[in-house]
């Protein structure tokens, strides 16, 4: 254990060193400017190195090089031809992208090292080429980067002219503004801040608002002065909406997703919500909704342009997580089955702990326009360390969008569960334990989400609450009621550093003829699952049986604090503190039983799905718990 911890500490230290270190580069001996290469001769290239960037920056930028090299795993192929103009274009583009990130002093020069002159053999590398040599030469490319120092925003001015803009609105806009005095300046933030002003004016009725921007860069002082001037135009009302591009999809489906009414004050948030809903139908590849000026009635006619996509989709996916091992997914979905936006789908999911087949049907705009009805049928098996649960579930559900960011649902869970492979010690610790039974439980829930980005939020909150009740009066074999609440917040601290918090808890209470909550309905915590406490293995937070199997509980409380900061591109660094408590009794929480984990990691969105690698340390470990938990997840969510 001690040797393992020392090894892990060494690996972690080496990893951190690589993240922050910038390579010093090889000696300049042997490298010459591109102009020294005879472009009348034929050349091939071995590798292209980028020096002056850190490990992650090189990792993200090198694959985008225009200069092609031969991958190491296809060593039998001929090396690609070398074009000096391509390497120079790579250096120019890299310098330009660094300037866009605020490194206005950044320089990038391209050069090569001649490994073999044209016509020479391996044994004749040092011999000058003869005039009659016809074979290609061999070079190694290099781009040397001098970053310099980054510029910061030293002055910001926003001019709204004579508009009656409320002071509270301006303060709210500035709190969320992409450009902040004293912070690093980037061209993407500079452009994004202008769009924020347009969006703000659009939220207040100005459908034709425009913004001009100006940035004065003082490179010697490493300072940028930024000015925005808004031209709001006239306040407008929503006008009539015309729709172009429909062929197979019914127009009524599209109009049912429009959240504004003609004659309402124009609000760009309702435009964005309409676009989001239409994209959520998965029927359109392109959705565009824009105002077409303002007419004499102060109305802004809306033009919607749609491009229909395929109605059917087949998905195949694979991934891995330390919680449930290798996992696979296969699904078929029809997004307009029998017309009217109805959806029908079949899904198979397989992992080391769960196998299931499910069918899903969605009927939109029923029983009302703002609702939809879903029916899920699932046959599956959970293969946990404590038990094996074979189950069948049918869940009809009605979802009501009460507000743009508030969803309410009503459902009935009808299931049959059958257990096997339960240890005698676990049975003894749960008096009243049964191996199978029917559950019928009506329930309801609400979710309120206000975040700036649904994938990687940096600001906002999400709150949800759910409850359901099982009763023998409904035909269930059990009597219980369950409540669960979850709250998450996202707060920018300084610069790109974001704090994310989570607090969730639940309880399940038996009543009537039921004395015991069965294994499949109990709460579990630990690992990276539904109730995550990193630093511990799956379900290792909470009570254990005499055979060291997780027993779960009737109450759970989970808390988490996470700090996130971009490293480069899509890669984020993460540091966290997780804590959790699972209790055998309902409505119970004991501070003395809280188990805490701390750690760090990195995460990124990849073409195959989100990826995360981290290390957690449990501070309240039991004797059989490992000192360190390495967790890794990649691929679509199971």
Q: Does residue 362 surpass a pLDDT of 60? A: yes
Lowest-pLDDT range, 285-294, 405-414, 466-475, 598-607?
598-607
Q: Give the percent of the chain with pLDDT over 90.
A: 69
Q: Evaluate whether 616 touches 629 at the Cβ level (below 8 Å).
A: yes
Same domain, 196 and 327: no
pLDDT at 26: 42
Q: Between 479 and 634, whose confidence is greater?
A: 479
Q: Give the percent of the chain with pLDDT over 70.
A: 92
Lowest-pLDDT range, 37-41, 90-94, 377-381, 581-585?
37-41
Q: How far apart, in whole angstroms, are the C-alpha atoms of residue 520 and residue 413? A: 13
Q: How far apart, in whole angstroms, are the C-alpha atoms of residue 506 and residue 491? A: 25
Same domain, 543 and 395: yes
| Packing angle, helices 187-203 and 167-175, rounded to 10 | 150
Q: Residue 517 CB: number of other CB atoms within 10 A?
A: 23
Same domain, 227 and 243: no
Same domain, 260 and 409: no
pLDDT at 460: 93
Mean pLDDT over 224-248 rounds to 94
- Rg of the chain taking only CA atoms, in angstroms: 30
Which tens digit of pLDDT belongs to each residue from 106-144? 999 999 999 988 876 544 444 444 444 457 999 999 999
pLDDT at 29: 59
Same domain, 140 and 166: no
Which tens digit of pLDDT belongs to each residue from 436-450? 999 999 999 999 999
Regarding beta strands 343-351 and 595-606, do their DSSP bridges make them parallel or antiparallel, or are they unpaired?
unpaired
Same domain, 211 and 354: no
pLDDT at 567: 85
Of 231, 254, 274, which marks where a domain is finished? Answer: 231
pLDDT at 61: 80
Long-range contacts of the stretch 16-25 (C-beta < 8 A, 24+): 18/55, 19/54, 19/55, 19/56, 19/567, 20/54, 21/54, 21/55, 22/52, 22/53, 22/54, 23/51, 23/52, 24/51, 25/51, 25/52, 25/144
Mean pLDDT over 345-369 rounds to 96
Q: How far apart, in whole angstroms, are the C-alpha atoms of residue 308 and residue 320? A: 34
pLDDT at 300: 95
Q: Does residue 598 surpass a pLDDT of 60? A: yes
Same domain, 106 and 194: no
- 166: domain CATH number? 3.10.20.310
pLDDT at 424: 87
Same domain, 272 and 317: no
Report residue 10's pLDDT band, with 50, 70 and 90 as the boundaries. Answer: very low
Of 115, 131, 146, which marks where a domain is finished? Answer: 146
Q: Between 120 and 516, whose confidence is greater?
A: 516
Q: How far apart, in whole angstroms, are the C-alpha atoms of residue 235 and residue 214? A: 25
pLDDT at 638: 55
Q: Does residue 376 surpass a pLDDT of 90? A: yes
Of 21, 34, 59, residue with least CA distance to 140: 34
Mean pLDDT over 31-36 rounds to 90
Structure tokens at 348: 């198979």
3-state secondary structure of 634: strand
Which residue's entry shows tokens 């003609």? 262
Of 584, 395, 565, 433, residue with least CA distance to 492: 565
Q: Does residue 9 surpass a pLDDT of 70? A: no
Report residue 13's pLDDT band, with 50, 70 and 90 as the boundaries. Answer: very low
Q: How far apart, in whole angstroms, are the C-alpha atoms of residue 471 and residue 416? A: 14
pLDDT at 20: 41
Q: Does residue 263 surpass a pLDDT of 80? A: yes
Which tens digit of pLDDT belongs to each residue from 158-203? 888 877 766 677 777 877 888 989 989 999 999 999 999 999 999 9
Same domain, 45 and 83: yes
Same domain, 208 and 90: no
Same domain, 251 and 138: no
- 535: domain CATH number? 2.40.160.50
Which tens digit of pLDDT belongs to each residue from 83-93? 999 999 999 99
Q: Between 173 and 480, whose confidence is greater?
A: 480
Mean pLDDT over 252-277 rounds to 94
Same domain, 55 and 11: yes
What's the Cα-to-Cα distance from 28 to each of 25, 33, 38, 206, 476, rounded to whole Å? Answer: 8, 11, 20, 59, 79
pLDDT at 450: 93
Q: How far apart, in whole angstroms, are the C-alpha atoms of residue 289 and residue 245? A: 12
3-state secondary structure of 113: strand
**pTM, to two decimals:** 0.78
pLDDT at 5: 44
Which residue's entry shows tokens 């899903």? 360
What integer best gives the mean pLDDT of the chain?
89
Mean pLDDT over 356-360 rounds to 98
Domain count, the chain: 4
Of 109, 124, 146, which marks where a domain is finished? Answer: 146
Range of the domain at 178: 152-231
Q: Does residue 1 surpass a pLDDT of 80? A: no
């Amino acid at each position: 254990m001690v040797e393992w911890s020392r090894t892990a500490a060494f690996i972690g230290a080496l990893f951190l060193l690589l993240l922050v270190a910038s390579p010093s580069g090889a000696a300049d001996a042997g490298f010459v400017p591109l102009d020294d290469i005879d472009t009348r001769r034929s050349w091939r290239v071995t590798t292209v190195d980028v020096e002056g960037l850190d490990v992650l920056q090189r990792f993200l930028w090198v694959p985008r090089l225009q200069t092609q090299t031969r991958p190491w795993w296809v060593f039998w192929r001929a090396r690609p031809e070398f074009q000096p103009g391509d390497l120079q274009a790579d250096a120019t583009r890299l310098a330009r992208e660094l300037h866009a990130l605020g490194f206005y002093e950044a320089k990038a020069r391209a050069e090569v090292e001649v490994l073999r002159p044209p016509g020479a053999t391996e044994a004749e590398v040092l011999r000058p080429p003869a005039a009659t040599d016809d074979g290609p030469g061999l070079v190694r490319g290099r781009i040397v980067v001098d970053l310099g120092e980054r510029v910061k925003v030293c002055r910001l001015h926003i001019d709204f002219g004579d508009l009656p803009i409320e002071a509270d609105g301006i303060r709210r806009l500035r709190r969320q503004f992409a450009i902040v005095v004293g912070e690093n300046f980037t061209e993407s933030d500079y452009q994004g801040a202008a769009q924020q002003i347009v969006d703000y004016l659009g939220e207040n009725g100005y459908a034709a608002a425009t913004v001009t921007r100006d940035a004065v860069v003082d490179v010697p002082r490493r300072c940028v002065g930024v000015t925005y001037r808004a031209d709001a135009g006239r306040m407008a009302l929503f006008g009539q909406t015309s729709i172009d591009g429909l062929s197979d999809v019914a127009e009524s489906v599209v109009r049912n997703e429009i959240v504004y009414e003609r004659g309402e004050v124009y609000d760009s948030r309702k435009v964005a919500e309409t676009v989001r809903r239409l994209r959520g139908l998965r029927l359109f590849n392109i959705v565009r909704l824009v105002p077409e000026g303002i007419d004499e009635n102060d109305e802004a006619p809306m033009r919607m342009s749609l491009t229909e996509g395929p109605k059917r989709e087949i998905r195949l996916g694979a991934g891995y997580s330390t919680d449930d091992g290798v996992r696979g997914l296969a699904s078929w979905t029809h997004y307009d089955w029998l017309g009217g936006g109805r959806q029908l789908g079949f899904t198979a999911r397989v992992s080391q702990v769960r196998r299931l087949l499910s069918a899903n049907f969605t009927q939109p705009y029923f029983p009302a326009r703002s609702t939809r009805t879903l029916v899920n049928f699932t046959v599956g098996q959970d293969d946990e360390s404590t038990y094996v649960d074979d189950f069948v579930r049918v869940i009809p559900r009605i979802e009501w969008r009460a507000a743009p960011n508030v969803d309410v649902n009503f459902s009935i869970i009808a299931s049959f569960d059958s257990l096997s492979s339960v240890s005698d010690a676990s049975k003894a610790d749960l008096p009243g334990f049964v191996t199978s039974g029917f559950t019928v439980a009506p329930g309801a829930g609400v979710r309120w989400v206000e975040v700036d980005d649904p994938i990687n939020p940096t600001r906002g909150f999400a709150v949800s609450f759910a409850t359901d009740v099982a009763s023998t009066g409904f035909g269930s074999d059990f009597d219980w009621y369950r409540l669960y609440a979850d709250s998450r917040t996202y707060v920018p601290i300084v610069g790109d550093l974001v704090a994310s918090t989570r607090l969730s808890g639940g309880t399940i209470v038996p009543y009537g003829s039921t004395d015991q909550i069965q294994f499949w309905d109990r709460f579990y915590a630990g690992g990276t699952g539904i109730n995550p406490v990193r630093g511990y293995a799956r379900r290792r937070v909470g009570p254990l049986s005499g055979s060291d199997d997780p027993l779960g509980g009737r109450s759970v409380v989970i808390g988490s604090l996470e700090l996130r900061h971009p490293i480069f591109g899509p890669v984020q660094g993460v540091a966290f503190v997780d804590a959790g408590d699972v209790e055998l009794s309902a409505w119970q929480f004991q501070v003395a039983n809280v188990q805490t984990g701390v750690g760090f990691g990195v995460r990124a969105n990849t073409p195959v799905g989100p990826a995360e690698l981290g290390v957690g340390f449990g501070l309240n470990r039991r004797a059989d718990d490992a000192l360190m938990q390495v967790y890794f997840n990649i691929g679509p969510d199971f």
